[in-house]
Structure 1
Amino acid sequence: MRATAHGSGDGLARQRTLRVYLNDHLAGATGGTERIRRMAHAHGDTEYGDALRNLATEIAQDRRSLLALMADLDVPVAHYKVYGARLGERIGRVKPNGRLVRRSGLTVLVELEAMRLGVQGKTLLWRTLLAASAQEPRLDPGWLERLLERAEQQLRTLDALHHRAGATLVSSGSPTPASRP
C-alpha cells in the first residue's frame, strides 16, 4: 500500500532527507576536523599555531555536537561517508603547490580557504536547524544559537588568518616598486 503525500510516507521522506543532510555535514565535519588538526600540527610553532590549535579543538567539539544531535534525532551515522571523508582529506593533501616535497606559502592559503568553506557550511547547518527548532522539540534553540555564534567566530578567525597569510605571501614574494622593470 502506497502512502499518500500527507501520510506516513511524507514523514519517512523527511526523515530520509534529514539523514542524508546530517550525514553529509558529518562527512564534512570529519574531513574538516582531520584537516585542521593537521594544520595545527604543521603550524604549531608559527604565528598561526595558537589560533589553529583553538580552532582544531572547537571544530572537533562541533563534530561531537553534531553526532549528539544526530543521536537525539534518531539519525544513524552513515559510516561509509565518514570513512570516505577521511580518505578524501588524505587524498586532498596531495595537491600541486609549486613545490615537490615541502609546503609552500600557498598551502596555508588554500587550506584556510578550504576550512572557511567548511565552517561556512557548518554555519548554514546550524541556521537551518535553528529555524527548524520551532517545529522540532528535540532541537534546543539555545544550544543551536551558541553553536552558530561559535561558527561565526571561527569564520572571523579564519578570515584574520587568511588575511595575515595572504599579506605575508604577497609582500615577501613580490618585487619592491623600485625593482620593477
Structure 2
Amino acid sequence: MNGPSSDRTLASESAGGTAAKLLGIYLNDHLAGATAGTERAAHLARATRGSALGRAVAPVAAEIREDRAALLGIMRDLDVPVRRYKVWAGWAAERAGRLKSNGRLVRRSPLSTLLELEALRMAVEGKAAGWQTLRRLTATDDRLDPGLLDNLLERARRQQDTVEEWRVRQADTALRTADRSTASPAP
C-alpha cells in the first residue's frame, strides 16, 4: 500500500536524483573551465619562457594541470561521468580567446600578456569557488575528502597571489602613461 511514508521516500529519491544530476552538471562545467584554464596557463608559460614571468607562471601552470586531474578524480569518486562535449567546449573557448585584437598583427603585445593574466586570474578564482562549494558538501557526502579540498583551496589561494602580483606588474608595464613630470602641461 502506498501511504505517506512511501510518498516521502519517492520525494527524497527524486530530490537526491535531481541533486546528483545538478552536481554532475556543476562539476562538468568546472571541468570545462579547468580545461580552458589549463590550456591558458600552459600557453602563457610557453609564451613567457625564459623571463621572470615565465619562471613564476610555469609552476602555477603545472599546479593548474594537477588541479584539473584532481577534479577528474573527485568526479570519479562521485560517479559523475565526464561530458566530453563540455571538455571540448572549454578547449575551444580558450583557443578562440587567443583571437583577440592586441594592437599587433604578428607578434605578442604586452597587452596580450596582461589579458592572459587577467583570464588566468578569473580561472583560478572560479576554481577556488568550486573547491569551496565541494568543501561545504563534505558535511553531507563522505565520498569527498575534506583534507584534499583544503589543500586544493590553499593552493588556489597561492596561485591567486602569484597571478595577481604579475598581473599588476604587467598592467604597469603595458599601460603606463607618460611620466607627468616630463609631459607638457595642459593649456
Structure 1 residues without counterparts, runs of 5 or longer: none
Q: 2:26 aligned with 1:8, yes or no?
A: no
What code does the residue aligned with 1:21 have?
A: Y
Query: How much does 1:88 deviate?
Result: 1.3
Give the percent of matched residue pairs that are identical in Structure 1 and Structure 2: 45
The whole-number CA distance in structure 2 between the counterparts of 1:68 and 1:85 is 18
Q: 2: distance between equivalents of 1:158 and 1:166?
A: 12
What TM-score results when the alignment is normalised by the length of structure 2?
0.90
Gaps of 5+ in 2: 1-6
* Mapping 1:1-181, distance limit 5 Å: 6-171=11-176, 174-177=177-180, 178-181=182-185
Of residues 23-32 and 47-56 in structure 1, the stretch that sits farther from structure 2 once superposed is 47-56
Query: How far did residue 52 of structure 1 move?
Result: 1.0
Aligned to 2:11, the other structure's residue is in SS state coil
CA distance, structure 2, for counterparts of residue 156 and residue 44 of structure 1: 20
DSSP-derived class of the 2:102 partner: coil
What is the TM-score with the length of structure 1 in the denominator? 0.93
Deviation at 1:169, TM superposition (A): 1.9
Instruction: Count how many residue pairs are aligned between Structure 1 and Structure 2.
Output: 177
Larger Rg: 2
Distance 2:136 2:145 in 1: 11
CA–CA distance in structure 1, aligned partners of residues 135 and 121 of structure 2: 21
Task: Show structure 1 runs of 4+ deviating over 6 A.
Answer: none
State the superposition RMSD in angstroms: 1.4
